[in-house]
Amino acid sequence: MIVAVLGEKGGTGKTTFSTNLAGMRSASGRDVLVVDADRQGSSSYWAEAREAKGLTSVSCVQKFGDGLARAIRDMSRRYDDVVIDIASGDSREIEGALRVADMVIIPVQPSGIDVWTLGLLDDRISQAMQGNKKLTAYVVINRASTNPRDNDADDAKDAMAVCETLTITDVVVRDRVSIKRSVPAGITASEYRPLDSKAALEMTALYNLAFGENGHRNGN
Ligand SMILES: Nc1ncnc2c1ncn2[C@@H]1O[C@H](COP(=O)(O)OP(=O)(O)OP(=O)(O)O)[C@@H](O)[C@H]1O
Ligand SMILES: [Mg+2]
């Protein structure tokens, strides 16, 4: 299974989602590769920090540019699953990943400014689906308010309903200190907090979206 985490906008949670997905997948016994397609190298730092802790290891390589699609296709034969963390913007990396991914996950913060950027991606992914028939694309709200009186996630979902290609999911990850702290430590939210904590449950919902309840979604 090849999962690409991407978005037009910076700082939405792509690295947070990529590393949590990869770490949880490796903890379930799968051989996982993270392709860090962002020159900032944040996922690579996470994988190094993880290795130093002796947790289930996640391989990580940095790859950019025109050869990305081919490199991912080759590497995916040697791993059970590949998670790609892609730099934001109108990049060649997004284009390459859309050619080979089975699934795209787009983290979006529940503010109007972030939601506006989805129109571009909706068109772009719709075009990519013409060539990559297996591709599915999901939007997940990230950093939603933890204040029960703040309906930011529901408001954002309503605003995103105009997307024709992207599926707006019910998975909502909220703004949580444990999520912010776990990534620099090389761990997942479920390794930082008990499995029944809110942060771990939200990340598990994201994991289930990507890999299915029993880890066998999409046959692989
Ligand atoms: N659910 C969350 N709760 C709390 N903090 C979060 C959450 N998701 C992301 N963050 C924080 O928001 C910031 C941006 O997250 P992250 O680096 O994952 O985004 P990104 O999309 O990969 O950014 P970039 O475009 O720079 O690569 C980081 O400081 C991260 O710790
Ligand atoms: Mg990042």
Q: Which residues pair with residue 36 across a beta bridge?
A: 62, 85
Number of structural domains found in the chain: 1
pLDDT of residue 91: 81
Q: Is residue 120 part of a domain?
A: yes
pLDDT of residue 117: 85
Range of the domain at 186: 2-211
Q: Is residue 220 part of a domain?
A: no
DSSP code for 61: E
Which whole-number Å values give the CA distances from 103 to 70, 84, 153, in the listed order? Answer: 17, 10, 22
Enter the pTM of the model: 0.96
Q: Is residue 66 part of a domain?
A: yes
Q: Which amino acid is at 16?
A: T
Q: Whose CA is nearest to atom 23 of ligand 1?
A: 11
Atom of ligand 1 lying closest to residue 183 CA: 31
Q: Is residue 105 part of a domain?
A: yes
Distance CA 101, CA 215 (A): 17
Atom of ligand 1 lying closest to residue 142 CA: 1
Three-state DSSP state, 24: helix
CATH of the domain at 97: 3.40.50.300
Q: Whose CA is nearest to atom 14 of ligand 1?
A: 11
pLDDT tens, residue by residue, 66-107 = 999 999 999 999 999 999 999 998 689 999 999 999 999 999
Q: Is residue 216 part of a domain?
A: no
Distance CA 74, CA 218 (A): 19
Q: Which band of pLDDT confidence, cut at 50, 70 and 90, is reported for residue 218?
A: very low
Weakest-pLDDT range from 109-118, 125-134, 135-144: 109-118
Q: Is residue 217 part of a domain?
A: no
Q: Does the beta carbon of 176 sit less than 6 angstroms from any atom of ligand 1?
A: yes
Distance CA 45, CA 209 (A): 25
Q: Is residue 137 part of a domain?
A: yes
Q: Whose CA is nearest to atom 11 of ligand 1?
A: 180
pLDDT of residue 217: 46
Q: Is residue 219 part of a domain?
A: no
Atom of ligand 1 lying closest to residue 10 CA: 25
pLDDT tens, residue by residue, 140-162 = 999 999 999 999 999 999 999 88
